[in-house]
Amino acid sequence: MLAALLVLLFVAVPADLTLQPDPPIAGQQVRILCEPDGAKVHLASPLGCWSLESELSEGGCSVDIPAGLSLLLAGLSSGEEVEFSHQAWMVGGADGKPMPRAYFWFAYLNAGLPAPFPLAGRDEAAALEAVEAEAGFGPDDPVVQELLWLLRGRAAEDKVEYLRLLDAEIAQAPLGRLVLAAARVHHQLGDATGSAAMAQRYRDRVLEVQRAESQRWAQIVGMRDPRERIQALHCWLEEDPFSDFASSILQILAASYSEIEDYRSTAVFGLLSLRVTPDDAMTLNGVAFAMAEGGFELERGLLLVSQAITIMQNPERLSKPPQLSDRRWREELEHALAACLDTKGWLLTKLGRWEEAHSAFNAALEIERQDIYYLHLGLMLIERGDSEGAVSVLRKGARLGGPNRLRIESELDRLGK
pLDDT in tens, 164-193: 999 999 999 999 999 999 999 999 999 999
For residue 151, being part of any structural domain is answered with no
Tell me how far apart the alpha carbons of residues 61 and 80 are, in angstroms, rounded to a whole number: 20
For 112-163, the DSSP string reads T-S-SS-BSS--HHHHHHHHHHHHHH-TT-HHHHHHHHHHHHHH-S-HHHHH
Q: Are 127 and 107 in contact (CB under 8 A)?
A: yes
Q: Taking 90 as the threshold, does the pLDDT of residue 230 lie above it?
A: yes
Taking only the tens place, the pLDDT of each residue in 93-148 is: 989 899 999 999 999 999 999 999 988 888 999 999 999 999 998 778 999 999 99
Range from 15-24, 100-109, 209-218 carrying the lowest mean pLDDT: 15-24
Taking only the tens place, the pLDDT of each residue in 308-330 is: 999 999 888 888 888 889 899 89
- pLDDT at position 16 is 64
Q: For the residues 70-85, what does the mean pLDDT come to? A: 86
For residue 348, being part of any structural domain is answered with yes
What average pLDDT does the chain have? 91
Number of domains forming the structure of the chain:
2
The sign of the CA dihedral 34, 35, 37, 41 is negative
Task: Name the band, by pLDDT with cuts 50, 70 and 90, for residue 12.
Answer: very low
For residue 269, being part of any structural domain is answered with yes
- pLDDT at position 13 is 40
Q: Are 93 and 26 in contact (CB under 8 A)?
A: yes
Domain end: 89, 120, 151, which one? 120
Q: What is the CATH number of the domain that holds 402?
A: 1.25.40.10
Q: Taking 50 as the threshold, does the pLDDT of residue 3 lie above it?
A: no
For residue 187, being part of any structural domain is answered with no
Q: Which of 357, 359, 319, 361 is nearest to 338 (CA)?
A: 361
For residue 397, being part of any structural domain is answered with yes
For residue 70, being part of any structural domain is answered with yes
Tell me how far apart the alpha carbons of residues 13 and 162 are, in angstroms, rounded to a whole number: 35
Taking only the tens place, the pLDDT of each residue in 361-417 is: 999 999 999 999 999 999 999 999 999 999 999 999 999 999 999 999 999 999 987
Taking only the tens place, the pLDDT of each residue in 35-77 is: 665 678 899 999 999 998 888 877 788 999 999 999 999 988 8
Tell me how far apart the alpha carbons of residues 166 and 186 are, in angstroms, rounded to a whole number: 9
Q: How far is CA 152 from CA 5, 123, 158, in A?
A: 17, 14, 11
Range from 83-87, 190-194, 274-278, 375-379 carrying the lowest mean pLDDT: 83-87
Domain end: 120, 154, 178, which one? 120
- pLDDT at position 319 is 85
Task: Name the band, by pLDDT with cuts 50, 70 and 90, for residue 259.
Answer: very high
Domain carrying residue 345: 261-414
- pLDDT at position 10 is 35
Q: Which of 184, 212, 209 is nearest to 198 (CA)?
A: 184
For residue 319, being part of any structural domain is answered with yes
Burial of 295 (0-12, 13-18, 19+ CB in 10 A): exposed
For residue 354, being part of any structural domain is answered with yes
- pLDDT at position 35 is 67
Q: What is the CATH number of the domain that holds 81?
A: 2.60.40
Q: Taking 90 as the threshold, does the pLDDT of residue 306 lie above it?
A: yes
Q: Taking 70 as the threshold, does the pLDDT of residue 201 lie above it?
A: yes
- pLDDT at position 36 is 60
- pLDDT at position 303 is 97
